[in-house]
């Protein structure tokens, strides 16, 4: 999502998700945490754009590693397959 994601774009993205799933905020890529959603407020941002603000409702826990990997906040620790080199047979 870009810096200027609209409410319509967010609704469309959320529409593809499980409607019974809980919603959390993933914050702080260098030390990822999961947070609860807090209140919602409408107003204008510092650029004068109409905006909807979702408040942080408190920290739940650390963000699970698979989610941090999916967000590209940490590298996937799964080792890449290593191609085996074929050795030369020594002639004796």
- Asked if residue 41 lies in contact with residue 52, where contact means CB atoms within 8 angstroms, the answer is yes
In 3D space, the residue among 1, 14, 15, 8 whose CA is nearest the CA of residue 50 turns out to be 8
Per-residue pLDDT of the chain (92 residues; tens, 9 = 90+): 778 899 999 999 999 999 999 999 999 999 999 999 999 999 999 999 999 999 999 999 999 999 999 999 999 888 777 777 776 666 55
> 30 near 63, Cβ under 8 Å?
no
Residue 59: both structure tokens together: 């920290």
CA-angle at 85, arms to 83 and 89, nearest 5°:
160
pTM reported for the whole predicted model = 0.71
Q: Which two tokens mark 76?
A: 């996937």
Q: What is the pLDDT of residues 2-23, one digit of tens each?
A: 788 999 999 999 999 999 999 9
């Amino acid at each position: 999502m870009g810096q200027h994601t609209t409410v319509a774009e967010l609704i469309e993205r959320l529409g593809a998700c499980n409607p019974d799933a809980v919603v959390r905020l993933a914050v702080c890529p260098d030390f990822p945490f999961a947070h609860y959603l807090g209140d919602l407020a409408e107003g204008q941002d510092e650029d004068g754009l109409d905006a909807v603000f979702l408040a942080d409702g408190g920290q739940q826990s650390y963000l699970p590693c698979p989610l941090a990997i999916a967000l590209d906040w940490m590298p996937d620790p799964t080792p890449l397959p290593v191609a085996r080199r074929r050795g030369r047979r020594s002639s004796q």
